Amino acid sequence: MLSKIAIHCVNSEYPPSDSYEHLLEWVKERLDENFYSILKFTKVYSPLIPYHRVASHRKYVEVLKKKWPRNFILLGDSMCTFNPQFGQGMTHACRQAKILNRIFQDNHYQLEEVSYIYNRRASTISEECWLISTANDWKTPTLKVIQTDENGQSRTDQRDDQSIVTENEQMKPPLIVRILQWYIYWFLQCANQSGQLSVDIMCVINQLNSPFILLKPTTLLKVCCKALRKN
C-alpha cells in the first residue's frame, strides 16, 4: 500500500531530512514508540522533502463588499493559504473554481457583479478551511500574528515566551477557536473508538463533507458525554 507520511513540528524543531536513518533516530528519541515502529517497517520510495513554511495567510475579500475592484478575482492561494499540515490548498482552489464556473453558468449576473458575488461565496469555503487550520496554529507557543486593515495599516503581535498564556489580548485565541479546539480534542477521543467518526473527521479535513457533519445531534451528545465523564 502506497502512502504519504508527514511529520509536523513547531518552534522550528524540524526533523532531519538528509537521510531516512537519521529521521528514524530522531523519531525514536522524541516521539511515541508506535510512530517509530510504523516508520521502521516502512519502505521509502522517494526522497525526504522538508517544508519549513508553516504559515497561514488570508485576505478577507468579503469585507470590502462592492468596493472590491470589478472584473478582478482571487482564487486559491492568492486568496488564502494554509499551514500545509492538512493538505487543504489544492482542494480549496478547486472548490473556488467550481463556484466561479457555476456563477458563469447561471448566466443571469452582470459581468461587473461577478467578482462581488464570487468573493462572498468563495470566502465561505475559505472560512471552513481557515478555522480547521488555524485552530491548531493558535496552539503554537511562539505564534506570530500580522494583521492588515482595509486601509493597509499593519500590526504585528508575537508571543515572546514558550507559553500560550498571555496578557496580550491580540494573542489570545478567539472564543470560536477555543471552542473548536475543545470540541476537536474530545471528538478525536471518541473517534478512537468509532470507525464512523474517524471517517467523518477525515471527510471534513479533505473537504468532502461540510464541517457541520461533526455536529450531528448524536455526535454532539457522544462528544459532550465523553468530556463530562473525563471531568
- Give per-residue pLDDT as tens, 125-175: 999 889 888 888 888 777 888 888 777 788 888 877 655 555 566 678 888
Residue 8 to residue 58: CA distance in whole angstroms: 21
SS3 144: strand
The pLDDT > 70 percentage for the chain reads 93
- CB 143, CB 168: distance < 8 Å: no
The pLDDT, as a whole number, for residue 164 is 52
C-alpha cell at 60: 478577507
Q: Report domain extents, the chain.
A: 1-52, 57-137, 175-230
Note the pLDDT tens digit of each residue in 47-82.
Answer: 888 877 777 889 999 888 888 888 899 999 999 998
Among residues 231, 197, 227, 226, the alpha carbon closest in space to that of 214 is found at: 197
